[in-house]
Amino acid sequence: MHIVRVLYIRRTIDNMRMLLTTRAINTDTMPNLNLPFDGDASESAIRNAALSYGLVEDADMQGGQPGGPDFVFKDDRGARYVAEVKVVRDGRSDRVVAQLSVAIIQACHYAKNVPNAEPLAIVFVSNMVPSTIRQVKNFADQYAEHANVAIVTSEGASLVRLQGTWKNNGMLDKALPEANERSFLSRRQTTAVPFNPFSDLNQWMLKVLLAPEISAELLTAPRAPIYSGADLARAARASPMSANRLLQYLKREHYLVNGRTGITLGRREEFFSLWRSASMASPAEYSMRFLARVAMKDQLASLLRTLGDKACLGLFSAADHLGMGHVGGVPPYIYMHKLPQLEAQRPEWEMTDVCKPGQAPDFFIRRAMAPISTFRGAVQREGQLCTDVIQVWLDVINHPTRGAEQAAHIYRTFLQSLVEAH
C-alpha cells in the first residue's frame, strides 16, 4: 500500500509538471478528487486563517462565482491574492498533494484575469496528521517553490507560505517536527461540525434578508427581493452552498417566511434572542491614548480618515452617529479586522500609545468578532464609517458600562417594530 501511494504521488507530480508547462489549460476539466468547497465550516475556517495572516477579502473583487476563484484577498499593502480552495475530508497525503497541485494550477489561471494579483492555492483538510503536514510542505518546497500555498485544518491550525516565507498560527508548532502521531490522531474529528447560523458570513446574510425593512442610513446592504438561495448568494457575495445551507436551517427551524415580496425571517423575537446570546463574547482590544492632550475629537476623526475602510466606529459612538445615542461618557471604540501591530510604529499610530496601568483611555481598538458582517453592513454617517444598527445592538448589550441600557433604547426606538413585524 505504501508503494502504491508513493507511485500515486509521483504520478501526480509528473502530471502537474506537464500541466504547468502547457500553454493553454482548460481549468474547467481539472479533477477535484474529493468533495467540492462547501462554504460552511471550511469557508469560516479559511476566512479566520486569512485574517490571522493579515489578509481580508477584497470588497472590489467578488469571489465564489461560477467559473472564478473562491476568494480574492488583499493585505494591508493592497497586494491581491486570488485563491482557489480544495477540500479534503481525510488526511491522506496523496490526496492532499493531488488537490494542492490542482489548486495551484487553477489559482494561476484565475490570477491572470485579476490586475496586480498573485495566485494562492488553499487546501482545507479534516483529520490532518503531522506526517501529512510535513509531506505536503516538502512537496511544495521541492516542486512548487514559487507558489503561494496554504493548508487550513478543521482544528483551526494553518500553515501558509506567502512570498516564499512559511508561517503558521502557532497550532502547528508541535506538528511540524517529528511528533507523537498516535496522540495527534486521537484528537481527530469523528463527528460533523454542527451548523452555526450565527457564523460571521451567516450574520451578514441574515442582515441581507432583513435589509429591505431597514433604512440605508442604518444598514448598508443590497435591498433586492430574495426568492432563493441563488438570490441570497448573489446579494450577499457568498457561495450558493452557504446561502442554501442557511435557508435550509431557517426553514427546518421554522424561522423562514415566504411572501410575495420574497424570503424573510419569521419568529423574530425568538430568533433575535438567539442571535443576541450567540454574540456574547469578550473580543481582544487595546486601551489607547493620544500623545497630544488637545482636541481629542479632531484627533480621532483624523485617525479614522487615515485608517479608511480598515476601521469603523462601534458601540456607543456608533449609536450616537446613528441618532440612537443614550449613554454618554464612554470612550469611542474603533473596530478593525485585526488588532494592529503597534510596536511596528506605523505612521497612523505615531500620535498614539497604549495606556499604561492607571491611565484613562481616550479610545479603544477592538478586533471585530464578525468582520464580514461588521464591515459590510457599516454605514457612512457624518463623514465617518460606523457599525449598523443591528451590530450596535448586539455589541453594546453586554458592555459593562450601561450597555444593557443603551441596547434597550435601541430596541425601543427601532428594533422592536422590526422584530414584531413577523
Q: How high is the pLDDT of residue 4?
A: 41
The whole model's pTM is what?
0.61
Buried (b) or exposed (e) across 47-58, using 16+ Cβ within 10 A?
bbbbbebbbbbb
Q: How far apart are CA 322 and CA 97, in angstroms?
A: 51
What Rg do the C-alpha atoms of the chain give, in angstroms?
Answer: 23
> What confidence score (pLDDT) does residue 131 get?
76
Q: What is the pLDDT of residue 70?
A: 85
What per-residue confidence (pLDDT) applies to 62? Answer: 65
> Which pLDDT score is estimated for 234?
92
Instruction: Indicate the domain borders of the chain.
Output: 2-185, 195-422
Could you list the pLDDT tens digit for every one of the 422 residues in the chain? 444 444 444 554 444 444 444 333 344 434 443 334 444 567 778 888 888 888 888 877 766 566 678 889 988 787 899 999 998 877 778 888 989 999 999 999 999 988 889 999 999 987 667 777 888 888 899 888 889 999 988 777 788 999 888 988 766 655 455 444 444 445 444 444 578 899 899 999 999 999 999 999 999 999 999 999 999 999 999 888 889 999 999 999 999 998 788 899 999 999 999 999 888 777 788 888 998 888 888 888 888 888 888 899 999 999 999 999 888 889 999 999 887 776 555 777 878 888 988 889 999 999 888 899 999 999 998 888 999 999 999 999 888 888 899 999 999 999 999 998 87
- E strand segments, 105-191: 117-125, 148-153, 158-162, 165-168
Residue 374: which of 316, 410, 419, 335 has the closest Cα?
A: 335
Residues 344-352: contacts with CB within 8 Å, 24+ apart? 347/306, 348/303, 348/306, 348/307, 351/290, 351/291, 351/292, 351/299, 351/303, 352/288, 352/289, 352/290, 352/291, 352/303
Q: What is the spatial distance between Cα 379 and Cα 219, in angstroms, rounded to a whole number?
A: 6
The rounded distance, in Å, linking the Cα atoms of 205 and 203 is: 5
Query: Helix, strand, or coil here: 235?
Result: helix
Separation of alpha carbons 265 and 376, rounded Å = 20
